[in-house]
């Protein structure tokens, strides 16, 4: 088992470290730029090139049925789901094979609206409820994977 974090803009790295430590699961922090990680045998850092999608490509290549991927990137989530991984957004909402198609479609619609100037702004601010939902979702996903093993 492993947890892969799409780390460049991830607001729940510290929470992931705590939950992973409780379960004894290794974490790989993947980024395009150097990110500090705690000195812990279970936590490693993978620095990839700054090429477009380099972190996504590395994560998707490592994802498998015993992986949990933490990402807000819908297209990366899709790739990891196809590899059999469990995928959780930083707000705690899981990406699933049944929900990913709708998420991709909504992403495309919003991109079109933004391009036309009809929508400005971005997602709502990250909240305490999001953090709490993430902690619960990650713990639940780890328990499920451990039961399968």
Q: Where are the domains of the chain?
A: 2-148
Q: What's the distance, Cα to Cα, between the start and end of the chain in Å?
A: 9
User: What per-residue confidence (pLDDT) applies to 120?
Assistant: 63
Q: How far apart are CA 55 and CA 29, in angstroms?
A: 10
- Which secondary-structure segment (H or E) carries 41? none
The number of beta carbons lying within 10 Å of the beta carbon of residue 16 is 25
Q: How far apart are CA 129 and CA 73, in angstroms?
A: 20
Sign of the torsion angle spanned by Cα atoms 85, 90, 92, 95: negative
Q: What percent of the chain has pLDDT over 70?
A: 95
98-146 residue pLDDT tens: 888 777 777 677 677 777 776 666 667 889 999 999 999 999 999 999 9
In the predicted model, is pLDDT for residue 56 greater than 80?
yes
Is 108 strand, coil or helix? helix
Is 2-148 CATH 3.40.30? no
User: What per-residue confidence (pLDDT) applies to 55?
Assistant: 96
In the predicted model, is pLDDT for residue 24 greater than 80?
yes
């Amino acid at each position: 088992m492993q947890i892969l974090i799409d780390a460049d803009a991830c607001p729940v790295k510290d929470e992931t470290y705590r939950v992973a430590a409780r379960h004894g699961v290794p974490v790989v922090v993947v980024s395009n730029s150097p990110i500090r990680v705690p000195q812990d045998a279970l936590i490693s850092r993978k620095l990839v090139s700054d090429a477009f999608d380099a972190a996504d490509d590395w994560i998707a290549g490592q994802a498998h049925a015993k992986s949990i991927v933490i990402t807000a990137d819908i297209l990366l989530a899709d790739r990891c789901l196809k590899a059999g991984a469990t995928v959780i957004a930083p707000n705690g909402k899981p990406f699933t094979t049944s929900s990913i198609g709708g998420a991709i479609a909504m992403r495309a619609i919003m991109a079109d609206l933004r391009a036309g100037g009809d929508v400005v702004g971005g997602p709502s601010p990250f909240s305490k409820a999001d953090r709490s939902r993430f902690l619960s979702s990650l713990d639940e996903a780890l328990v499920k994977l451990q039961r399968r093993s």
